[in-house]
Amino acid sequence: MSEAQVLGDAIGAGLTARAFEPTAGEGDSGHTHESDCLNCGTPLIGSHCHNCGQTAHVHRTLGAFFHDLLHGVFHFEGKIWNTLPLLIFRPGKLTREYIDGRRASCVSPLALFLFSVFVMFAVIQQTAGELELGKDGQATINVGLSKGSAEVEKSLNAARAKRAEIEAKGGDTDDLDTEIEQQERALAAMHRLGGEKLSSTGFSILDEVIDETQSNPKLVLYKMQSHAYKYSWALVPLSVPFLWLLFPFSRRFHLYDHTVFVTYSLSFMTLLFACGMIAGALGAEPLAGVLTLVPPIHMYKQLRGTYGLSRFGALARTSALVIFASMSLVIYLVAIAAEAGAG
């Protein structure tokens, strides 16, 4: 994926988020040259129409157009710098304040989620392998399995040659024999992953996905990535019922509260996953491993701050939420795989 495509994704993220925050990027200085609002015709008082909220001054220059574009992409109206620290360190406060109506300084959950999804998939495409379409339309992707297999085979041949040399001199080859045996098993497992036929699962949809994946795994991987990108929003309605189960029949908390919670939580997890991908690509695998410990801690802090729970209540619900989140993710991935296999 080229840098231009990454920038295009970033611009798309900013514009999509801006669509959900329609007043983004407007200044407060006014520069009003109209006496009436050009949108609704209301007499203007100040820098914005008090009836519909449109800014009093409407830019009509090409420079102003690109200024708004860059402002929408890179500034995200300034709210992003207020929202991200709260999302990371005080997610419960962010969620509760948005639910209670204190929203002027924060990015809305849906706008932040869409922005996070754009960022995550841009990072995935940049770090997980380059996707190309050949002249015949066949999708190909550089994956690590074949490279790993080649490296193991090269190491195995070197170990066999060394063993033959030591054996010719009458030396002890026990350690090398063990190493060769382990490498042979690893190579056999890689070959099985590359071409062994899986048995039937008993579920026709999954069996069709498996057959399609084994016949053309690279194309299915490409289609899964594309479908996951398009249907990422489905994670929100999938997750809300599970969160409701933590507060069944509660009169204090409603589906709206749970939806805001889930959307902000998914935004954080999406950005965290992108950070893990970047850490892995930079060779910082220990850091990527540490990041896997963050989600339960974040869930705990968000649950406690949003719903005003005790430490014990938050811990108990966090344990359940980790399980529910895993179930939601599995359902989502199976649905995406089925859609990709059928597509």
Whether residue 249 is contained in a domain is answered as yes
| pLDDT score recorded for residue 189 | 65
Alpha helices in 245-310 (DSSP H): 255-281, 285-291, 294-307
Q: Which of 5-19, 38-52, 63-77, 80-94 has the lowest mean pLDDT?
A: 5-19
Instruction: Give me the number of domains the chain comprises.
Output: 2
- Supply the pLDDT for residue 213: 56
Residue 205, C-beta contacts closer than 8 angstroms, at least 6 positions apart: 338, 341
- Identify the pLDDT of residue 107: 87
Residue 160 forms part of a structural domain: yes
Residue 190's identity, in one-letter code, is M
**117-143 core/surface letters (b: 16 or more CB in 10 A; e: else):** bbbbbbbbbbbbbebeeeeeeebeeee
Closest CA relative to residue 118, chosen from 85, 81, 68, 72: 72
50 in any annotated domain: no
pLDDT tens-digit profile of 252-311? 999 999 999 999 999 999 999 999 888 888 888 888 888 889 999 999 999 999 999 999
Average pLDDT over residues 124-147: 51
Percent of the chain with pLDDT over 70: 65
Is residue 334 located within the same domain as residue 219? Answer: yes
**What span, in angstroms and rounded, lies between the C-alpha atoms of 340 and 228?**
9
Same structural domain, 285 and 176: no
Measured distance CA(28)–CA(18) in Å, rounded: 18
Report CA dihedral (334, 337, 339, 340) to the nearest 10 degrees. Answer: 170
- Residue 335 confidence (pLDDT): 81
Pair (126, 234) in one structural domain: yes
**pLDDT, mean over the chain:** 76
3-state secondary structure labels for all residues of 196-256: CCCCCCCCHHHHHHHHHHHHCHHHHHHHHHHHHHHCHHHHHHHHHHHHHCCCCCCCCCCHH
> Is the per-residue pLDDT at 322 higher than 60?
yes
Whether residue 28 lies inside any domain: the answer is no
Higher pLDDT, 105 or 324: 324
Alpha-carbon Rg for the chain in angstroms? 27
pLDDT of residue 237: 93
Residue 69, classed as helix, strand or coil, is helix
Task: Give the 3-state DSSP-derived string for 157-168, with helices as H, strands as E and coil as C.
Answer: HHHHHHHHHHHH
Whether residues 118 and 236 share a domain: the answer is: yes
pTM of the model: 0.63
Same domain for 127 and 170: no
Residue 59 lies in a domain: no
| H helices present in 75-173, as ranges | 79-89, 91-99, 109-127, 144-168
pLDDT band with cut points at 50, 70 and 90 for residue 3: very low
The answer on 148 and 119 residing in a single domain is: no
Is 161 within the bounds of a domain? yes
For residues 239 and 299, state if they share a domain. Answer: yes
Region 321-334 average pLDDT: 90
Same structural domain, 111 and 177: no
The answer as to whether 159 is a domain residue is yes
Whether the pLDDT of residue 35 is over 70: the answer is yes
Confidence at residue 24, expressed as pLDDT on a 0 to 100 scale? 44
Domain of residue 279, residue span: 78-132+215-342
Q: Are residues 246 and 309 located together in one domain of the fold?
A: yes
Give the model's pLDDT for residue 263.
96
pLDDT at 41: 86
Q: Examine the domain organization and report whether 105 and 229 are in the same domain.
A: yes
The per-residue pLDDT for 180 is 80
CB 2 within 8 A of CB 12: no
pLDDT in tens, 149-193: 667 677 778 888 888 888 888 878 777 788 888 777 776 766 655
In the chain, the percentage of residues whose pLDDT exceeds 90 is 27
* Residue scoring higher pLDDT (33 or 321): 321
**Do 94 and 148 belong together in one domain?**
no
Q: Does 187 share its domain with 283?
A: no
Let me know if residue 243 belongs to a domain.
yes
